[in-house]
Amino acid sequence: MNGNLAEQDFIRLMTFIRDNYGVNLEKKKTLVEGRLRNVIAQAGYADFHDYIEAALGEPSGELLNTIITRLTTNYTYFMREETHYQFMQQQMLPEWTARIRDRDLRTWSAGCATGEEAYTAAMVIQEYLGGEAGRWDATILGTDISTRVLDEAREGVYTAAALERLPPPWRSKYFVDEGGDRFRVSKRLGEQVAFARQNLMEASYSARFKRKFHLIFCRNVMIYYNAETKAAVAGRFFDVLEPGGYLFIGLSETLSGLNSRFEQVAPSIYRRGL
């Protein structure tokens, strides 16, 4: 592959991704170059310009999906930002299981990447419900803009390193050791999570979801957004949460200064008022 990323190509790609996906790459030209260089070479393109031309003009969106995956997928693992799962166990689940009459507990992992967050939440819920789990519909929805990471999430195969923060009993209970450093989610756990593609830049989420959620995870996703986009996304989350429902964002993130309608109940934990 020849050359570096020209400024005009960077601006064109940056503008397209910002307008269509809300991801702000304005000061990240070096990151874009670094993450795409090998991808472009492996795809057989001569330079950045040819690849970007092809990606933005391709009807299938396959090349663009590869770009989005490379630029937005964070390193993740099971039990990441564990304080959120502790809050689930100690406050959110006791509160909501006492209130829900139809045993339909609804959780959304927005920007779920390769599935670790959604599967962790499913394990926390299963452990909390215990013998009552079979009497509940507690299926978790995991969504992402990248079809590639969603395919990995559906496959549900992880390394030992990804599982190392899980309690040992959970590893044996919820995963099958396939050998060769491959651990697959059990059939039981896999049935508790459903994955689908979702662009958080959609004007409204309400039309897509028949019922509102009790808990939404959107962690380390809005770090890519500017303040205006972040406020808009937070507003859409508010609209699809049940009154009293919770929103978890990344520990390094905040909704402060966005004039959101949420009440902050702990660092990175927000609630829609009753």
Query: Which H or E element spans position 236?
Result: helix 227-239
Residue among 179, 200, 176 at smallest CA distance from 188:
176
The residue type at 169: P
Tell me the β-bridge partners of 217.
109, 248
pLDDT tens, N- to C-terminus, the chain (274 residues): 667 899 999 999 989 888 888 888 888 889 888 888 888 888 888 889 999 999 898 888 788 888 887 887 666 789 999 999 999 999 999 999 999 999 999 999 999 999 999 999 999 999 999 999 999 999 999 999 888 899 999 999 999 999 999 999 999 999 999 999 999 999 999 999 999 999 998 888 988 898 999 999 999 888 888 889 999 999 999 999 999 999 999 998 999 988 889 999 999 999 999 8
Domain boundary assignment for the chain: 7-72, 82-156+187-271
For the domain made up of 7-72, give the CATH fold: Chemotaxis Receptor Methyltransferase Cher; domain 1 (1.10.155)
What was the pLDDT predicted at 121? Answer: 98
Strand order in the sheet with 157-158: 157-158, 182-185, 175-179
CA distances from 138 to 100, 106, 119, 133, 227 (A): 11, 6, 12, 8, 33
Q: Are 205 and 240 in contact (CB under 8 A)?
A: yes
Residue 213's φ and ψ, nearest 5 degrees, are -95, 155
Residue among 139, 143, 95 at smallest CA distance from 269:
95
- Say how far apart CA 232 and CA 227 lie, in whole Å: 9
Residue 149's φ and ψ, nearest 5 degrees, are -70, -30
- Decide if 7-72 and 82-156+187-271 have a common fold: no
Using the structure block, give the residue that is written with the tokens 């509940």. 136
- Say how far apart CA 189 and CA 61 lie, in whole Å: 31
3-state SS assignment for residue 162: helix
- Say how far apart CA 74 and CA 76 lie, in whole Å: 6
Tell me the β-bridge partners of 177.
183
pTM of the model: 0.86
Class of the 82-156+187-271 domain? alpha beta
CA torsion through residues 65, 70, 71, 76, sign: positive
Q: What is the DSSP letter of 91?
A: I
Using the structure block, give the residue that is written with the tokens 């601006």. 11
